[in-house]
Homo-oligomer: A and B are copies of this chain.
Amino acid sequence: MKFFNCDYNEGAYPPILKKMMDTNLCQSIGYGEDEYCEEARNMIRGLCDAKDGDVHFLVGGTQTNLTVISAALRPHQGVISPETGHINVHETGAIEATGHKVLTVKTPDGLLTADMVEKVCHDHFTDEAFEHMVMPGMVYISSPSELGTVYSRQALTDLRAVCDKYDLMLYMDGARLGYGMAARENDIDLPFLYNVCDAFYIGGTKQGAIMGEALVIRNAALKKDFRYMIKQKGGMFAKGRMLGIQFLELFRDGAYFKLAEHADRLADDIRGALAAKGYPFAVQSGTNQIFVILPDEATAKLKEKYVLSDSGRYDDTHSVQRICTSWATNPADVKELIADIESL
């Protein structure tokens, strides 16, 4: 079976393992205070043009999200999220387990707009029983979203404005950030992101690391004592350098972006083949995730050779299938998949 169901089926970008081997018996102090982590933090600060930014390395996305959100909010505050947001759907209530409500908004495409946030806040603060309701304290977005869509520079600028108006933090989950930035429609870069968000993370797990997310914080209140938060939530990695080494290798010579581009262009090819066959998409996206509406017999046929990810029924005879490429996807496998799509 060939796996096109998600973007973490393979191991790691090979230079990472090589570097781990080369440095394996060196001794260094733990918990991210070693020289590899320090170098990786500086590299990331450089890429983000963020000389005052704090950079922390955590193991996974759920852990990063729950640590940031619980650190940011007071007890009565909740976090606004698209209904499809990872924190709302696929983290087993991790945010609620830290005491906070996820305030959900329906979206057509997984993306929050400034107007949606404005409405939630306006409704809250003008309700006569407002103190009996959860106060919005943060906006959670993911880009690419769980539907593969990305935020534009304008959309983020508008979100920033409404966040400022209502004193909300803006936090972006970048589990697949590189895949977003390699999309043809992308118009943002890291320095812009750093300035528009209070915090965001650059995902490693889905883009070539064994594990690891690089959290970047601009907001001073959120920076304060953040390592305590990481430790309390179980995210303080003992052999910290193993995270630092990974980000060093991922960003060396722009590898991170090239790996993402590899995935996105292969996804473009698959998308082209699906479109040519007339299969509609559940959502338009230009990243490594494709959400296509397939007739059941086509799905069944493809699943003889490929692992895809079921994303719900569309109607009695169609379902939505997620097809993912990754940094490690073999172009020959894509060629074969395309041929199989064409002959459906």
Does A301 interact with chain B (Cβ within 8 Å)?
no
Interface stretch of the complex, out of A84-92, A113-121, A190-198: A84-92
What's the minimum C-beta distance from A81 to chain B, rounded to whole angstroms?
12
A90 with B129: in contact, given A17-B17, A210-B239, A211-B239 (CB under 8 Å)? yes
A6 to B28 CA separation, bound complex (whole angstroms): 10
What's the minimum C-beta distance from A187 to chain B, rounded to whole angstroms?
29
Query: Per a CB cutoff under 8 Å, which of B5, B20, B99, B227 touches A11?
Result: B20
A63 with B234: in contact, given A76-B225, A99-B97 (CB under 8 Å)? yes
CB neighbours of A44 from chain B (8 A): none
A240's nearest neighbour on chain B, judged by CB, is: B8
Interface stretch of the complex, out of A132-140, A154-162, A287-295: A132-140
- One digit per residue, 1 when the CB lies within 8 angstroms of any chain B CB and 0 when it does not, for chain A 46-77 equals 00000000000001111110110011001110
When the two chains form their complex, are residues A235 and B96 in contact, meaning their CB atoms are under 8 A apart? no
When the two chains form their complex, are residues A60 and B238 in contact, meaning their CB atoms are under 8 A apart? yes
When the two chains form their complex, are residues A93 and B101 in contact, meaning their CB atoms are under 8 A apart? yes
Does A334 interact with chain B (Cβ within 8 Å)?
no
CB neighbours of A239 from chain B (8 A): 8, 11, 205, 210-211
A10 to B1 CA separation, bound complex (whole angstroms): 37
- One digit per residue, 1 when the CB lies within 8 angstroms of any chain B CB and 0 when it does not, for chain A 15-54 equals 0010011011111111100000000000000000000000
When the two chains form their complex, are residues B229 and A76 in contact, meaning their CB atoms are under 8 A apart? yes
Does A128 interact with chain B (Cβ within 8 Å)?
yes
When the two chains form their complex, are residues A75 and B11 in contact, meaning their CB atoms are under 8 A apart? no
* Residue of A26, A90, A92, A134 ringed by the most chain B CB atoms within 10 A: A92
When the two chains form their complex, are residues B63 and A76 in contact, meaning their CB atoms are under 8 A apart? no
When the two chains form their complex, are residues A242 and B11 in contact, meaning their CB atoms are under 8 A apart? yes
CB neighbours of A3 from chain B (8 A): 27-29
A211 with B91: in contact, given A9-B29, A99-B96, A233-B97 (CB under 8 Å)? no
A323 to B93 CA separation, bound complex (whole angstroms): 37
What's the minimum C-beta distance from A243 to chain B, rounded to whole angstroms?
10
11 CB < 8 A contacts A-B:
A8-B30, A11-B20, A11-B24, A11-B26, A14-B21, A17-B24, A31-B131, A93-B134, A96-B101, A131-B227, A211-B242
Binding site for B on A (CB under 8 A): 1-3, 5-6, 8-12, 14, 17, 20-21, 23-31, 59-64, 66-67, 70-71, 74-76, 78, 89-94, 96-102, 128-129, 131-135, 205-206, 210-211, 225, 227-229, 231-239, 241-242, 307, 310, 328
